């Protein structure tokens, strides 16, 4: 027998958790593989390569080595950071074409269908493994993260892949079929061993005191055998299914429920003595690096602790609330004190109501008042973050930055209180998760598991196994099932539309609060980082004499009300973004006074770079640009425009003035992009390849920007006017979707392209005659597709005369756009 290798490439955590989930099922699904190696794809050389290159038949243990790959795609067809080295290795011409001759493999690819290149990284890995001699066992499976249908592809693939891999690796031996009971996770395997307090005697005394308080709080009038009232969750499910309180809930058959696995994580209490023994191992982890030559590399696992050094509202939002919040304390104090942070969040909610208060018998507010509520929910912030002074964290315009945030203080407090009451586990107890360095229970709950994202079906089913109330278990199983009684509609109405989290489930189905800490770790994934486009240029600092090496990001504060459902008394909920609501609170002192200076009490957040390979400015400055960025999609284009302005400013002032008036660079010499190798570090202390820049023409730049109200969320209006006045920006086309009398026909950027004939003609002229590069950034669910369809229609109109009919013209236009994408002239940065 031999190990089964399960490798993953993950950007947001989905691939990682699918891989770990699958790894946990192997002992119950296979008696053949004696162990599992589950690691990042980039660890292939250290953990796998030597074994893969060994013929297993020589030892008589197996016919093939088993390899399962789960890999997502990030950005524009890029491999995740923890898989990029593996991808580069299998793409090299020097990699042997028989490298995987002793390997049987299967690949699960994750992607977003809003991008044209769907599941590119997984597809590449699947193809190259076969080309390099591997034997494909299960056909490539492609799961869509952008449409919320991930489990529809993942679950069937997970059901068969281990058994098929065993058949391929076991020298043709017979494989015993597994039953549903054997493949399903049992409550016992999830619950694991109970964690008991091992703190000092004072802690034990505190526990006993708390237990006594709980007993005293129990009503004495309740009869032992009296039926308890139905929980809020059960009542809501009954209402949604039109079932009266006296009728029994339907039973969801096992065959209609998700396939489960064992716990994703293990944890154990660690004594102070054990903690002391591990302290010596962490010295290297805490070492600081003082020079760029050290090769330090900031990642999700090893982020940089950045200080917030500035923030401002980009929307026309009052700083009155921020002023009041800043009186509670500095940003660092708000971060440290849960009570202060909770109070700050409540102050923002109260100051920015999203709907009118209930006024029975009174007329609705005026249209202008309703607009005010609408504008309250649209708050956009630009935040400035410090970077290491030794330039160990660099970026280019078009890059993104990942931000790591903790769970909300309300969610954290609820779980900590639940663990204390139900299991006697105190926040200060030290535990080791998956044999990692010991940390406190509070740290694990605050920073490790995702308490604030909507529940997925599989996770909800895991929760149902801890329900001690039969009706609650039935209701949860119905929510997770594909049966006629439950089904996707029920889950959609109850969970997805209302964005219910694990905290909501525990509150509305209270018997599930018997879940253990190990059970929570098994049910919930880690908190995914939030990615924001950089809206600044690294060259700006050299123009304005900035003291700090820094970058800027812009983000919308997520704040909205869910749809109202008359059958759900808890619908119409106000939802705040985990990251953005937190960032608004800790930035309050700057939002109140954007010109305030930095201090030692400025908040610290963990960040890491997310470079892009495609969303880059063309190296040739004479290339015309069309930048399409509604809403916060404009953010990276501010970086583009700032970068161009900084490049122009690298000339002597007289030459720059002459350039702005003439609109051309002297001479016409152009370099091929492959010939230009300039990094940020080259630019520091130099004039960014002035000789090269002097020999280029200044390309025209057109920007398409859209928002709801011109007087509220026209982001970077002053900056864009300034870029236009100095000749950086040639044309600015705007669309305001909620202005004007006709509410049925909203004005979007694609509407401007279609209805403004001069705009449409210029757009096509720049694309077809001037070889302009087109960049689209923003919402991919509607805008991204609509913009592409509009450009295709405009191209088809232009090509109509040279084609035999409308259908031929449309096909030619689609082919033209696809060619632009292939050559890097049409680039998307969109999100779902």
Does 302-356+366-403+529-610 match 406-526 in CATH topology?
Answer: no
Whether residue 525 contacts residue 450, with contact meaning beta carbons closer than 8 Å, is answered with yes
Confidence of residue 541 (pLDDT cuts 50, 70, 90): low
Q: Can you give the pLDDT at residue 129?
A: 96
- Of 197 and 230, the structure prediction assigns the larger pLDDT to 230
Q: How much of the chain exceeds pLDDT 90, in percent?
A: 54
Structure tokens at 433: 């998760």
Alpha carbon distance, N-terminus to C-terminus of the chain? 44
According to CATH, what is the number of the domain 625-831? 3.40.50.80
Q: Can you give the pLDDT at residue 286?
A: 39
Whether residue 51 contacts residue 65, with contact meaning beta carbons closer than 8 Å, is answered with yes
Q: Can you give the pLDDT at residue 11?
A: 82
> What does the pLDDT average to over 132-159?
86
> What does the pLDDT average to over 638-651?
85
Does 373 score more than 50 pLDDT? yes
Confidence of residue 175 (pLDDT cuts 50, 70, 90): very low
C-alpha neighbours within 13 Å on the C-beta side of residue 215: 6
Whether residue 569 contacts residue 238, with contact meaning beta carbons closer than 8 Å, is answered with no
Whether residue 628 contacts residue 767, with contact meaning beta carbons closer than 8 Å, is answered with no
Whether residue 374 contacts residue 315, with contact meaning beta carbons closer than 8 Å, is answered with no
For 4-177, which CATH superfamily applies?
Answer: Flavodoxin domain (3.40.50.360)
Distance CA 233, CA 464 (A): 12
Structure tokens at 627: 């930048």
Q: Can you give the pLDDT at residue 660?
A: 47
Distance CA 279, CA 283 (A): 7
- Of 173 and 395, the structure prediction assigns the larger pLDDT to 395
Q: Which of 16, 12, 83, 3 is closest to 45 using CA atoms?
A: 83
Does 400 score more than 50 pLDDT? yes
Structure tokens at 50: 């030597």
> What does the pLDDT average to over 537-564?
82
Place of tokens 């494909």: 136
> What does the pLDDT average to over 179-205?
37
Does 248 score more than 70 pLDDT? yes
Q: Can you give the pLDDT at residue 236?
A: 95
Given this structure, which CATH class describes domain 406-526? mainly alpha
User: Tens of pLDDT along 662-715?
Assistant: 544 433 334 444 444 444 444 444 444 455 555 557 799 999 999 999 999 999
Beta-carbon contacts of 670 under 8 Å, excluding residues fewer than 6 positions away, are 620, 622, 695, 696
What are the boundaries of each domain within the chain?
4-177, 302-356+366-403+529-610, 406-526, 625-831
User: Tens of pLDDT along 39-75?
Assistant: 999 999 999 999 999 888 877 767 899 999 999 998 7
Confidence of residue 227 (pLDDT cuts 50, 70, 90): low
Q: Can you give the pLDDT at residue 299?
A: 87
User: Tens of pLDDT along 1-17?
Assistant: 678 999 999 887 789 88
Answer CATH for 302-356+366-403+529-610 from 3.30.450.20, 3.40.50.360, 2.40.30.10, 3.40.50.150: 2.40.30.10
């Amino acid at each position: 027998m031999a190990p089964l290798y399960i490798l993953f490439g993950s950007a947001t955590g989905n691939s990682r958790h699918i891989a770990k989930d699958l790894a946990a099922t192997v002992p119950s699904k296979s008696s053949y593989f004696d162990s599992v190696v589950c690691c990042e794809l980039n660890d292939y050389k250290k953990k796998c390569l030597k074994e893969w290159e060994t013929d297993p038949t020589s030892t008589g243990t197996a016919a093939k080595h088993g390899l399962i790959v789960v890999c997502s795609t990030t950005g524009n067809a890029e491999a995740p950071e923890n898989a990029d080295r593996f991808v580069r290795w299998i793409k090299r011409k020097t990699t042997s074409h028989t490298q995987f001759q002793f390997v049987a493999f299967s690949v699960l690819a994750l992607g977003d269908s809003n991008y044209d290149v769907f599941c590119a990284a997984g597809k590449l890995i699947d193809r190259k493994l076969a080309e390099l001699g591997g034997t494909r066992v299960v056909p490539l499976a492609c799961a869509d993260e952008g449409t919320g249908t991930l489990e529809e592809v993942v679950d069937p693939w997970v059901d068969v892949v281990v058994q098929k891999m065993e058949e391929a690796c076991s020298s043709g031996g017979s494989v015993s079929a597994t039953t549903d009971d054997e493949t399903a996770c049992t409550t016992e395997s999830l619950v694991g061993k109970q964690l008991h307090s091992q703190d000092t005697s004072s802690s034990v005394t505190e526990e006993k005191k708390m237990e006594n308080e709980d007993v005293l709080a129990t009503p004495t009038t309740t009869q032992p055998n009296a039926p308890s009232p139905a929980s809020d969750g059960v009542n809501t499910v009954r209402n949604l299914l039109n079932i009266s309180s006296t009728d029994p809930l339907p039973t969801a058959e096992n065959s209609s429920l998700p396939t489960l696995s064992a716990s994703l994580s293990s944890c154990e209490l660690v004594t102070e003595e054990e903690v002391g023994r591990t302290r010596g191992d962490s010295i290297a982890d805490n070492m600081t690096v003082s020079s760029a030559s050290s090769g330090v590399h900031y990642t999700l696992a090893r982020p940089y602790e950045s200080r917030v050094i500035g923030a401002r509202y980009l929307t026309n939002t009052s700083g009155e609330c921020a002023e009041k919040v800043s009186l509670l304390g500095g940003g660092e104090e708000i971060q440290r004190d849960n009570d202060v942070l909770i109070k700050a969040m409540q102050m923002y909610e109260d100051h920015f109501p999203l709907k009118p208060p209930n006024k029975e018998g009174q007329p609705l507010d005026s249209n202008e008042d309703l607009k005010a509520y609408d504008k309250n929910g649209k708050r956009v912030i630009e935040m400035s973050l410090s970077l290491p002074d030794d330039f160990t964290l660099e970026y280019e315009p078009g890059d993104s930055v990942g931000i790591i945030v903790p769970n909300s203080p309300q969610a954290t407090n609820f779980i900590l209180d639940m663990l204390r009451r139900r299991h006697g586990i105190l926040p200060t107890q030290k535990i080791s998760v998956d044999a990692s360095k010991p940390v406190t229970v509070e740290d694990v709950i605050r920073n490790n598991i995702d308490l604030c994202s909507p529940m997925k079906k599989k996770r909800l089913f895991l929760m149902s196994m801890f329900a001690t109330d039969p009706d609650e278990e039935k209701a949860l199983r119905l929510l997770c099932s594909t049966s006629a009684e439950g089904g996707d509609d029920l889950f959609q109405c109850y969970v997805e539309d209302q964005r219910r989290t694990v905290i909501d489930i525990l509150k509305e189905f209270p018997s599930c609060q018997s879940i253990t800490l190990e059970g929570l770790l098994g049910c919930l994934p880690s908190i995914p980082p939030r990615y924001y486009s950089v809206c600044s240029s690294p060259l700006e600092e050299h123009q304005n004499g900035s003291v700090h090496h820094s970058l800027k990001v812009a983000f919308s504060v997520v704040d909205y009300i869910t749809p109202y459902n008359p059958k759900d008394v808890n619908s119409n909920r106000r939802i705040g973004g985990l990251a953005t609501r937190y960032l608004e609170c800790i930035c309050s002192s700057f939002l109140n006074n954007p010109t305030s200076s930095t201090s030692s009490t400025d908040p610290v957040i963990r960040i890491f770079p997310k470079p892009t390979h495609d969303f880059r400015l063309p190296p040739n400055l004479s290339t015309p640009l069309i930048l399409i960025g509604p809403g916060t999609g404009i953010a990276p284009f501010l970086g583009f425009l700032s970068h161009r302005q900084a490049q122009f400013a690298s000339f002597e002032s007289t030459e720059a003035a002459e350039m702005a008036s003439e609109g051309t660079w002297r001479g016409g010499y152009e370099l091929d992009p492959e010939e230009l190798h300039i990094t940020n570090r080259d630019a520091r202390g130099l004039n960014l390849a002035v000789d090269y820049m002097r020999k280029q023409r200044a390309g025209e730049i057109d920007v398409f920007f859209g928002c709801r109200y011109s007087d509220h969320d026209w982001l970077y209006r002053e900056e864009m006017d300034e870029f236009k006045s100095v000749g950086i920006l040639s044309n600015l086309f705007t669309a305001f979707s909620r202005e004007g009398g006709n509410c049925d026909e909203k004005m979007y950027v694609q509407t401007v392209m279609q209805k403004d004939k001069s705009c449409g003609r210029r757009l096509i002229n720049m694309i077809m005659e001037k070889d302009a590069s087109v960049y689209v950034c923003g919402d991919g669910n509607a805008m991204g597709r609509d913009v592409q369809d509009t450009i295709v229609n405009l191209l088809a109109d232009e090509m109509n005369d040279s084609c035999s009919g409308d259908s031929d013209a449309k096909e030619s236009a689609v082919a033209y756009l696809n060619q632009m994408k292939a050559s890097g002239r049409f680039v998307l940065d969109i999100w779902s």
